[in-house]
Amino acid sequence: MRVSDFDFELPPERIALRPASPRDSSKLLVVRPDVLEDRSFRELPGLLRAGDVLVFNDTRVIPAALSGHRYGRGGTTPKIEALLHMRLDGYRWKAFVKPAKKLEKGDRLRFGNEGKVCLLGNLDATVEEKGEAGEVTLAFDFHGPALEEAIATLGEMPLPPYIAGKRGTDEQDRTDYQTVYAEKEGAVAAPTAGLHFTPRLMNDLQEAGISREFVTLHVGAGTFLPVKAEDTKDHRMHSEWGEVTAETCARLKAARARGGRIVAVGTTSLRLLESSGLEPFSGTTDIFITPGYRFRAVDLLITNFHLPKSTLFMLVSAFAGLERMRFAYAHAIAQDYRFYSYGDSSLLFPAA
């Protein structure tokens, strides 16, 4: 399909720069095949059925945006911005860097923001490999827990460009850009559909007979990258690491056998479940879902409102129907819904 088929106009003022407070007071647009319903997110328990299962992504965002400079080559020390997006092992990460043209294989980088001091000393890295579109492999001098501590000390929360371009990152983002159930560190972008859940809402869902399961997909910075191809068949997704345990698969299958529905909380949970096919899974996935895809593992989807021409808008169009999603997004814009990571949410039913 043409990427332009997934374009739409969004007024800039519809982009949320802060989340709703409390989190579950955000709006929720229910998109059924034949009707739209304007609700509040805290009404979610009444929109699902006893026996349904919510599947959450329990990844935890790390402060993966690093600022520093190149040193040891020539007479200049150009400033370098790095966004870590995939851990390779105990000391190596793939990262997107700016300006990539200033780097060569073997270059040495030193990270650290003015006013912050890393108790472990300077956080240095070597450019081990240079790829396409500003991607490099960084080999850090620290390893394991020491590296994790250094990144946590020196890094900033990697807010999406459409937020970071309008305001600076602050300490509040370290709380706001994290789900209340985040546990396993490794993501550089939040699974934002989960940002609407509060402990109170989680308890209300449990009392309504709606159970929960957790999977892990460490969301990478590739989720922020624009689709540059003109046709969807020419776009390549970046890989992300995920895991679905055998025990989780067994419980999800049992719930379905009893008539319950699997409700993916976010496109990250959905992509991982579809990659696994409800079988045990541990590894990387680069699944790219566009209209025509046959869903196997997910019955309903909770998700925020996505960028025009993005892979995520393509995914929701595959799930609920392209024309239906165009109509739903036009309704959301007209009704002052807030868009993107800190914005409002939707509950999508599959296309008829």
> Measured on CA atoms in the order 249, 255, 260, 263, is the torsion positive or negative?
negative
Question: Tokens at residue 106, please?
Answer: 């073997």
Using an 8 Å Cβ cutoff, are 60 and 183 in contact? yes
Would you say residue 83 lies in a domain?
A: yes
If asked whether residues 190 and 56 sit together in one domain, one would say yes
Q: What is the CATH number of the domain that holds 303?
A: 3.40.1780.10
If asked whether residues 217 and 305 sit together in one domain, one would say yes
**pLDDT above 80: residue 76:** no
If asked whether residues 149 and 262 sit together in one domain, one would say no
**Comparison of pLDDT for 162 and 90, the residue scoring more:** 90
When pLDDT is averaged across residues 61-81 and rounded to a whole number, the result is 87
Would you say residue 307 lies in a domain?
A: yes
If asked whether residues 125 and 42 sit together in one domain, one would say no
Encode pLDDT of 234-252 as tens digits. 988 888 999 999 999 999 9
If asked whether residues 56 and 190 sit together in one domain, one would say yes
Q: Which residue has the tokens 């009707």?
A: 35
Would you say residue 117 lies in a domain?
A: yes
**Comparison of pLDDT for 172 and 116, the residue scoring more:** 172
% the chain with pLDDT above 70: 96
Encode pLDDT of 16-42 as tens digits. 999 999 999 999 999 999 999 999 999
**Comparison of pLDDT for 320 and 74, the residue scoring more:** 320
Would you say residue 161 lies in a domain?
A: no
- Furthest-apart CA pair in the chain: how many Å? 69
If asked whether residues 241 and 332 sit together in one domain, one would say yes
Q: What is the CATH number of the domain that holds 129?
A: 2.40.10.240
pLDDT of res. 224: 65
pLDDT of res. 116: 46
Would you say residue 167 lies in a domain?
A: no
**340 to 159, 167, 196, 216, 310: CA distances (angstroms):** 11, 15, 13, 21, 12
Encode pLDDT of 173-187 as tens digits. 989 999 999 999 889
If asked whether residues 56 and 120 sit together in one domain, one would say no
If asked whether residues 205 and 147 sit together in one domain, one would say no
Using an 8 Å Cβ cutoff, are 227 and 309 in contact? yes
When pLDDT is averaged across residues 200-228 and rounded to a whole number, the result is 90
pLDDT band (50, 70, 90) for residue 121: low
Would you say residue 160 lies in a domain?
A: no
pLDDT band (50, 70, 90) for residue 117: very low
Among 89, 122, 155, residue at a domain's last position: 155
If asked whether residues 200 and 300 sit together in one domain, one would say yes
% the chain with pLDDT above 90: 74
Would you say residue 48 lies in a domain?
A: yes
Would you say residue 165 lies in a domain?
A: no
Among 126, 155, 184, residue at a domain's last position: 155
**pLDDT above 80: residue 221:** no
Domain coverage including residue 308 = 3-61+173-348
Encode pLDDT of 81-110 as tens digits. 999 988 899 999 999 999 999 999 999 999
Share the mean pLDDT of the chain: 92
pLDDT band (50, 70, 90) for residue 189: confident
Query: What is the tally of structural domains in the chain?
Result: 2
When pLDDT is averaged across residues 292-317 and rounded to a whole number, the result is 96
- Kind plus residue range of the DSSP H or E element containing 250: helix 246-257
